[in-house]
Chains A and B, each alone.
Chain A
Amino acid sequence: MSLLRRRKVPENEITQVPDPNSDGNEKEKEKEKGKNIIDKKKEIRKSQKQQTNWNCVDSCCWFIGCICVVWWVLLFLYNMMPYSFPQYVAEVITGPMPDPPGVKLQKEGLKAKHPVVFVPGIVTGGLELWEGHQCADGLFRKRLWGGTFGEVYKRPLCWVEHMSLDNETGLDPPGIRVRPVTGLVAADYFAPGYFVWAVLIANLARIGYEEKTMYMASYDWRLSFQNTEVRDQSLSRIKSNIELMVATNGGNKAIIIPHSMGVLYFLHFMKWVEAPAPMGGGGGPDWCAKHIKTVVNIGGPFLGVPKAISGLFSAEARDIAVARAIAPGVLDKDLFHIQTLQHIMKMTRTWDSTMSMIPKGGDTIWGGLDWAPEESYVPSKRRQRNNGTNEDENTESKVKRINYGRMISFGKDVAEAHSSEIERIDFRDAVKGSNVANHTCRDVWTEYHDMGFGGIKAVAEYKAYTAGDILDLLQFVAPKMMKRGSAHFSYGIADNLEDPKYQHYKYWSNPLETKLPNAPEMEIFSMYGVGIPTERAYVYRLTPAADCYIPFQIDTSAGENDEDRCLKDGVFTIEGDETVPVLSAGFMSAKGWRGKTRFNPSGIPTYIREYEHAPPSSLLEGRGTQSGAHVDIMGNFALIEDIMRIAAGAKGEELGGDLVYSDIFKWSEKIKLPL
């Protein structure tokens, strides 16, 4: 306002300066003049003030104004930019891009045929708030998980509180309702620009798919699988939607595309839907045969993920371990009373679903102290073979074998020593010791606080843990969590599948303890990326300061520079898709279900399709069209093409059967599992 006045007054002056001699009402003029003078005086005072203040505040304003203007101009230009411009630039720099598979296959004449159901995995699905505590005001139906994650920064503790589940029941805490987002938007993009299903959806749309023939079976991925039905009736919805889509698309059976944990979820669904009514869906014994054409598992952790162990044990994966190595202290210090890791651990330990990913099958699958199916794996050799040179058998003997079977070892020397050299003191009966009653830690609840120093020491003294031991370890370290979890999941191998106890739903998501449905015409694909080092076993150490902290952490100093060794930053890596090792993703299709086995009584044909990882050649390609990484594979053109052909009606044979780069068949042979 002041500015406007400043402008106006001088204008008055100009108009009136030439006038005074004219014949108008002089009195009035004079009055006006008088007024003007008073005004002027006021003005002067004001402008004087402004002139004096011009230095700081005004240049601040000026600066802000400049930024705003530039911002608007850029925004305007950006909005006027044609959509093809970024692609055009990319093509100029990197050369012409290949046609997306949708366009290519559309030209070939493929048409939408079978309805498609997507089953998202853990973490990738969005969650939104329906009811919350005071601190979450204004977040109604806003995404807490997925999207921009803005709330994590704005009110972190509130966010953690709302994302946690109840400790006892594994369901909603009182007064909080967080529910999965529904529809394709639930998992098309995880965060803005970070696609999950979007590329696949866009390509399917090219050959005629749309909302009525695609369905995103979103569920609350924090809950145990059976609880999604108990609380949200998610399984019933999936059943009803598949039935509807099959009915409205002329009886064409559905193609199911689960990703990551969705694979286990759908395994659970297939048992649930045919089980009788109170516990199951009551669909009758031939429901799957009638409604499902193909199950296309993408990056499926059928036998669990070693990463889950470190996640549960010390709330860290390789990334966090690396962060700790680079900036020691940031994560562990009590600066700002943040206790990040402890909060994360407290939150994730209330999520039952993480327990579905604990490695299954024990020592039989994952190896014992001195043995593991992948033991002779040499990264460089594999690379050579891919380059076409012959295998050099000699290298194998030279290289020391890695004891992948010891999934957790305390100290690098333990990880490498022969089993007879390790002195292990059984921890199972050890006294946990009294809690060092430290009340300052109480606001962060992890079960480690219930453990005394004795218990921690006992854990460390057992030295090496195999997949079988790990279950006991977790039982010891986090009894409450495991009690809750073991009511929903099981990790063993069935001796006799006819045993009536296997009717219980806790076995349904474990492929080693369930039979596939009786649907001989169905097909099962295992599609996954290979060629990326994947976590397989860990070297741990005790945390030096054992006050409020998680008492164990990955020993990032344990590493080797030798190219052929797979130990780096305390983590033994193996081939896989960065999250799921090949063994877990491929074993069931390669051996466990191949032909008529006791796990697959009706002989459902299985196929393995591996996709070699090729990192994007430049930044402009984004996350690449040939990636094999766990999530980025959803944008892999070869995978998308396979899926589209299946959706348009192709069978496994027409795709070319198995497509294998890794040693999965060799490794599977080594696993002695009665079939």
Chain B
Amino acid sequence: MGSILRFRKLCFLEPVKCSELSEKKAPIKFDDEKKSFEIPKNENKGLLEEKKRKKRPNKEWRCIDSCCWVIGYICTIWWLLLFLFHCLPGLTVPEPPGTRLQREGLTALHPVVMVPGIVTGGLELWEGRPCSEGLFRRRLWGGSFTEIFRRPMCWLEHLSLDNETGLDPPGIRVRAVPGLVAADYFAPGYFVWAILIENLARIGYEGKNMYMAAYDWRLSFQNTEVRDQTLSRLKSKIELMYVTNGNKKVVVVPHSMGVIYFLHFLKWVEAPPPMGGGDPGWCAKHIKAIMNIGPAFLGVPKTVGNILSAETKDVAFIRAMAPGLLDSEILGLQTLQHVMRVSRTWDSIISLIPKGGETIWGNLDWSPEEYHVCDSAKKKYEQALDNNENNSDSRMRFQIQEPTKYGRIISFGKLVSNLPSSQLPIRDSKKQEFMRNHSTSNSNGACRGVWTEYDEMNRENIRIIAENKAYTMKSLLDLLRVIAPKMMKRAEAHFSHGIAENLDDPKYNHYKYWSNPLETKLPDAPDMEIYCLYGVGIPTERSYVYKQSSSSRCNSIPFQIDSSADGSDNSCLKGGVYFVDGDESVPVLSAGFMCAKGWRGKTRFNPSGISTHVREYKHKAPENLLQGRGSESGAHVDIMGNVALIEDVLRVAAGASGSELGRDRIYSDIMKMSKKINIRL
């Protein structure tokens, strides 16, 4: 489309020139021709040409025609290239791992259950308001997203949940797409599970021994059961597959948020009858292995930026490139505000807030990753390869470099993010009290259209928040409770973010603790295996530098990432965001800690001693465009196409155990970092 518009513009801008030029050009050309090449043929043709030229203006062979000509030209060439591309056999992709393993003799053995993560699952409409006519059973989320452009407000309305209950608003039913199609492709051509499915199929898997546990990822985990009985379905499906496949235990492959969803399921299924009602041995009987891909066990710092100001690295980047575009009220769009309003009704986002407080994520002065070298993760790995030579060298650098204060998840101003804690303004509990008491709204009727809880705060409170300067994970939760009291109240009935002191406390039987690995015990299933499979080598958001947004209009979000804050070459600060090693979404710490330390051996979180394995996959960007998203990627979603990962999953599904895979495979500093975390096991 873009190309047509451009060409059309070209012609409409200079229609006169076009004709002028062609007329002017003609006589000059012919003169030259006579001089330079005196070939009669050309002359004759030229004369003919001249005659034609005289006629042509009458025929209106003008710009529109040449536009058509250009388009036709482009189309034809495009088709030709497409045809050639399909004809050339040389461009075929390298052999998929499924085929290789099939030749090795692997066959389908254990049924496979896939648990998709947040965002990647499709949602379809079952009942809607009048504005959504004709969309019955069409995808609102996933697929081509055409409805966003056609009727954006309608779309937003239907994807929001109810503010109070976190369930459907009255008159709207949006449900998860069931079956493998739910998350095989997120958008046309953008695979999520498709490659894994295809490779599994090559060693003999099919519909009867693969199951996509699709759920409505906007809801809190327990609400998926309340509204859709999703957990019951999952239980019934696992039982069915166990029986119909010759009593073979299932291999569960959750991805991203699906990891904590399945953690929730593990507890739910063994809880007494109002809940799952399986026997205490259910997991031991039905589950062989859990292969967590890109697990967000301890949360994702990205969500903090998301909740606070509906922006992440990418948004901040756009803002830096085109200031005003996102914030201005051109066309009355208020994009970010709308995004914030909608995403704040989704309880599931709260499940991704970093868990474990300062013990895990660090405090004002300390964090487990503090000596991370950021100039490039790649360099470090290279060093690791020839360890002997550069060992002293890199140690030197570690000493020179000042530790990055990752513990300050949010700091207001770049300066603050680096100050020693003694120089920070002391957090004043009185001020906090003040904020709580006086958070009456400066109710501004005009702003009501977009509901974010910022509307109900006044400028004074916002100023105080910004004055508090630096927030660690602990104080951040307090901050969120002040900024978005309703959301946090709703969500904290479903999720908890602490660390359990005593896991036998009966309060931990409540479902809100089930998705937090630091507040639950793993089931009693010593034969089960847990894998943490994740990519490394991509800078991942870890903490933010914020500023107060300049505009004081009523609807604007009062904070935004300070994208001007850049560190020196060697530092991890870029565009207002501190980076750490990870898979672009989940930092290594969150993905690997439980497998590396929290559950390793017999701990209080893992009383039966389920064996855990950490498998890391080093990111390697695709070499050229033809490779698409690459077969060795380590990025959060693209890793689903990583050949090594697929091979691991296939081997486990075909019956291999962790020791046969080669146990741990580590590139990052996860073990070192885990050691620094002081947690009672």
Contacts and interface: CB of A to CB of B under 8 A. Distances in A.
Interface of A: 3, 7, 10-11, 13, 40-41, 44, 47-48, 51-52, 58, 60-66, 68-69, 72, 79-80, 83-84, 130-131, 140-141, 177, 179-180, 182-185, 188, 201-202, 205-206, 210-212, 232-233, 236-237, 240-241, 243-244, 247-248
Interface string B205-226: 0111000000000000000000
Nearest to B49: A51
A277 to B, nearest CB: 11
Contact of B229 (A65, A188, A248): A248
B65 interface: yes
A11 B180 CA distance: 57
B306 interface: no
B229 A72 contact: no
B240 A240 contact: yes
Nearest to B124: A211
20 contacts: A3-B66, A10-B21, A48-B42, A62-B68, A62-B69, A62-B72, A65-B72, A66-B68, A66-B72, A68-B75, A69-B71, A80-B150, A131-B204, A141-B201, A182-B179, A182-B207, A183-B178, A201-B137, A202-B136, A240-B239
B419 interface: no
A144 to B, nearest CB: 14
A68 B243 contact: no
Contact of B73 (A3, A79, A140, A243): A3
Given A48-B45, A60-B72, A205-B126, A177 B206 contact: yes
B232 A61 contact: no
Interface of B: 1, 4, 21, 24-25, 28-29, 32-33, 36, 42, 45-46, 49, 65-73, 75-76, 126-127, 133-137, 146, 150, 173, 175-176, 178-181, 184, 197-198, 201-202, 204, 206-208, 228-229, 232-233, 236-237, 239-240, 243-244
Contacts of A84: 133-134
Contacts of B173: 210
A65 B75 contact: yes
Contacts of B240: 236-237, 240
A62 B150 CA distance: 31
Contacts of B21: 7, 10-11
Contact of A211 (B146, B178, B181, B198): B178
A84 to B, nearest CB: 6
B71 A65 contact: yes
B75 A64 contact: yes
Contacts of A68: 71-72, 75
A180 B67 CA distance: 48
B64 to A, nearest CB: 9
A130 B201 contact: yes
A140 B25 contact: no
B227 to A, nearest CB: 9
Contacts of B135: 83
A369 B36 CA distance: 98
Nearest to B233: A244
A62 B36 contact: no
A232 B240 CA distance: 12
Contacts of B184: 141
Nearest to B225: A248
A210 B175 contact: yes
Contacts, number: 142
A201 B137 CA distance: 10
Given A48-B29, A211-B175, 13 more contacts: A40-B28, A47-B25, A51-B49, A65-B71, A79-B146, A131-B201, A140-B201, A182-B180, A201-B137, A232-B207, A241-B236, A243-B236, A248-B232
Contacts of B4: 69, 72
Contacts of B233: 212, 244, 248
A44 B201 contact: no
Nearest to B18: A7
B69 A58 contact: yes
Given A65-B68, A68-B75, A140-B201, A44 B208 contact: no
A370 B56 CA distance: 83
Contacts of A183: 178-179, 181
- Per DSSP, are chain A's interface residues mostly helix, strand or loop, or mixed? helix
Contacts of B176: 211
Nearest to B133: A83
Contact of B32 (A10, A40, A69, A131): A40
Contacts of A206: 127
Given A61-B69, A182-B207, A237-B240, A140 B198 contact: yes
A534 to B, nearest CB: 33
A130 B232 contact: no
A247 to B, nearest CB: 7
A205 B136 contact: yes
Nearest to A198: B137
A110 B67 CA distance: 58
A232 B206 CA distance: 9
A83 B138 CA distance: 13
A233 B46 CA distance: 78
A44 B29 contact: yes
Contacts of A188: 137
B32 A79 contact: no
A392 B29 CA distance: 95
Contacts of B208: 179, 232-233, 237
A508 B555 CA distance: 68
Contacts of B204: 131
B236 A240 contact: yes
B152 to A, nearest CB: 14
B34 to A, nearest CB: 11
B45 A52 contact: yes
Contacts of B32: 40-41, 44
Contacts of A47: 25, 29
A80 B175 CA distance: 26
Contacts of A69: 4, 67-68, 71
A369 B599 CA distance: 80
Nearest to A70: B68
Contacts of B1: 72
A462 B126 CA distance: 59
B71 A179 contact: no
Nearest to B236: A244
A143 B39 CA distance: 62
A7 B28 CA distance: 15
A104 B493 CA distance: 40
A140 B126 CA distance: 29
Which 5 residue pairs of A and B lie closest in terms of their CB atoms, listed nearest first?
Answer: A65-B72, A83-B134, A65-B68, A61-B72, A64-B72
Nearest to B67: A65
Contacts of B127: 205-206
Contacts of A10: 21, 24-25
A188 B179 CA distance: 15
Given A48-B45, A140-B198, A141-B197, A212 B72 contact: no
Contacts of B207: 130, 179-180, 182, 232
B571 to A, nearest CB: 45
A44 B33 contact: yes
B442 to A, nearest CB: 40
